[in-house]
């Protein structure tokens, strides 16, 4: 049996973090949280996580993007699957009506909007983790050969 997957939530809203952490814990995921972009990035650089759940609007503005851009540039972190969970559509729709929101800042990411349905959240997390495992498998085989 594979070890429990470790997930990091970077979001400044404690209510939301509490809600999604409890959903993820019921599905036997291990969760940690960072409440500002600086702590989030520090956690990503110092520990190993299997998946990142990322909010966009934090601190001075759309700082989730800052984290995503840094992840993209870091060869060690660029393969972490990222699930962007954001309520940004309201802001975007107001400023840029009709524009698509999903930014695709990292090679592997998915976007769900707040408020998120528990089933949808778990499904997206499972899909992203399975895809990450599938990507690792050929690498492991190459390493063994």
Give the residues lining the site for other proteins (CB under 8 A).
12-14, 17-18, 21, 31-33, 35-39, 56-62, 64-65, 86-88, 91-92, 94-96, 99-105
Choose between 96 and 133: whose C-beta lies nearer to other proteins. 96
Choose between 41 and 77: whose C-beta lies nearer to other proteins. 41
Min dist. Cβ of residue 62 to other proteins (A): 6
Min dist. Cβ of residue 121 to other proteins (A): 16
Choose between 103 and 118: whose C-beta lies nearer to other proteins. 103
60-63: Cβ within 8 A, 24+ apart = 62/88, 63/37
Min dist. Cβ of residue 21 to other proteins (A): 5
Min dist. Cβ of residue 125 to other proteins (A): 17
Choose between 37 and 81: whose C-beta lies nearer to other proteins. 37
């Amino acid at each position: 049996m594979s070890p429990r997957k470790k997930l990091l939530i970077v979001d400044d809203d404690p209510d939301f973090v509490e809600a999604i952490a409890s959903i993820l814990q019921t599905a036997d995921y291990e969760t940690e949280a960072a409440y500002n972009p600086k702590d989030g990035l520090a956690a990503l650089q110092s520990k190993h996580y299997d998946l990142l759940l990322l909010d966009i609007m934090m601190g001075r503005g759309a700082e989730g993007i800052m984290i995503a851009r840094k992840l993209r540039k870091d060869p060690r972190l660029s393969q972490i699957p990222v699930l962007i969970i954001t309520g940004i559509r309201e802001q975007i729709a107001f400023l840029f009506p009709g524009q698509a929101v999903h930014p695709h800042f990292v090679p592997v990411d998915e976007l769900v909007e707040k408020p998120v349905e528990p089933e949808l959240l778990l499904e997206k997390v499972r899909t992203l983790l399975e895809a990450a495992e599938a990507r690792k498998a050929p690498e492991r085989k190459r390493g063994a050969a």
